[in-house]
Structure 1
Amino acid sequence: MLIEEPPVSELENVSAYLADNIIALRKRSELSQGKLAEKAGIPRSTLTHMESGAGNPSLTNLCKLAAALGVNIEELLSRPRNECSLLKADQVPILKRSGGKVQVHKLMPDKVRGIEIDRMQFVPGSSMAGKPHLQGTKEYLVTLLGSVGVAVGGQSWEVEAGDVLAFPGDQKHGYRNLGKGNSEALSIVLPLPYPVP
């Protein structure tokens, strides 16, 4: 089977992405070139070449560098993310659940495993089953308008406007509008691998 080499411009892009990502991650970690090279166990000259976009790093050096920066190789080689992004209101994805009686606005423009931020709107009398999230996650529900009932772990909670309910996100749960008018809540799901003291 004949495998074509990618065009030179694509290879140059990957080198530029690598350079930009290393510099951004190194600065975010407050490491000098020398400290990062030492932490990764690679020569500083190798790191300098990588940051200039002129290097041709080995897979071994990429693995060492990724481990030192606490990221995977894909993140080193991907197009750098913009630090800021604006998602206009008409671009926010909206899922309709429970026969259209509940709208879930997906507020996170970036896909990050285990993290979700949703704004949920309930018409009077509506309810919605929540799906258990990844193991080890915690959900924080803030009611913005009205009163939202949350059932989780065999218990029921009434979360009124301004209240915050924290519960294990990996358990079966559900939501219900308890008021006579519309209700609205913000759900934030975060992975918590270690117990909070």
Structure 2
Amino acid sequence: MASSTNRRTAQSTAPLTSPTTPPRVGEQIQRLRAERKMTLDDLSRAAGVSKSMLSEIERDKANPTIAVAWRLTNALGVSLDQLFATQKSPETISVAGPHDIPTLDGNDARYQLRVWGPIELAGKFEWYELTLQAGGALVSNAHEPGTREHLTVLQGSVEVEADGATKRLKAADTARYVADVPHAIRNLGKGEAKALLVVIHG
């Protein structure tokens, strides 16, 4: 009988297949690689997987072992769970409830950011619901070169500062400004302010 150590080894090197239909992980790995603008050589080196094997996997000519899949997902910055979650058929309409939306609280700075954009677009195109309490401020360092922000005030009034310039905005006003410099959004009023913040990275 195999020892527990041998059984663990066998599990870690077993092909990622099911008794019925094997998962088509190759297409997902290729998509993730393309999204990150990585070449086959880039991912091969980062994951320690031969280029020929990677090519076979991406074309669904071979299924990676768990160990190989772990190295690939680690190099791509995703988890194994995320990789297999993408195997589900996409819904025509997917709905996220209030409790599914990530929220960032800047308690001391008196702001709240609700992350409305999907996580797969983070670092490319993001949108948030920004709530600023009276006296609250969202102060940011410079983003990547070429990044711009678009802020539409939904309630109250705010002041936007970018690269030393400032503008006051009231409800229904939209400011578009460079965000590859230090910038800030401040609520100088006495009541709560809300805004839609869209970030387009350079």
Q: TM-score normalized by structure 2?
A: 0.59
Q: How does 1:15-54 map to 2 (within 5 A)?
A: 18=27
3-state SS in 2 of match to 1:59: helix
Letter of the 2:170 counterpart: E
- Aligned 8 A contact 1:98 1:126 in 2: no
Q: How does 1:86-165 map to 2 (within 5 A)?
A: 86-99=95-108, 101-112=110-121, 113-165=123-175
> Compared with structure 1, are the counterparts of its residues 127 and 58 closer, same or farther at alpha carbon in structure 2 (3 Å cutoff)?
closer
3-state SS in 1 of match to 2:99: helix
- Tell me the equivalent position of 1:31: none
Distance across 2 between alignment mates of 1:138 and 1:83 = 31
- Of all paired residues, the percent bearing the same amino acid is 23
1:58 Cα deviation from its structure 2 partner: 7.8
1:164 Cα deviation from its structure 2 partner: 0.6
> Which moved further from structure 2: 77-86 or 121-130?
77-86
- Calculate the aligned-residue CA RMSD, in Å: 3.4
Distance across 1 between alignment mates of 2:57 and 2:106 = 47
1:142 Cα deviation from its structure 2 partner: 0.4
- Tell me the equivalent position of 1:173: 183
> Compared with structure 1, are the counterparts of its residues 133 and 164 closer, same or farther at alpha carbon in structure 2 (3 Å cutoff)?
same
Letter of the 1:173 counterpart: H
> Compared with structure 1, are the counterparts of its residues 18 and 127 closer, same or farther at alpha carbon in structure 2 (3 Å cutoff)?
closer
Aligned length: 145
Distance across 2 between alignment mates of 1:181 and 1:58 = 56
> Compared with structure 1, are the counterparts of its residues 4 and 58 closer, same or farther at alpha carbon in structure 2 (3 Å cutoff)?
closer
**Unaligned 5+ residue runs, structure 2?**
1-8, 32-52, 60-75, 77-83
Give CA-to-partner distance per residue, 1:82-105, whole Å, 9 cap, x none.
Answer: 453211112211111141621111
Distance across 2 between alignment mates of 1:61 and 1:9 = 16
Distance across 2 between alignment mates of 1:89 and 1:4 = 40
Letter of the 2:23 counterpart: N
- Tell me the equivalent position of 2:196: 186
Q: How does 1:53-64 map to 2 (within 5 A)?
A: 59=55, 62=58
3-state SS in 2 of match to 1:13: coil
Distance across 2 between alignment mates of 1:179 and 1:160 = 10
Q: TM-score normalized by structure 1?
A: 0.60
Distance across 2 between alignment mates of 1:187 and 1:58 = 39
Letter of the 1:185 counterpart: A
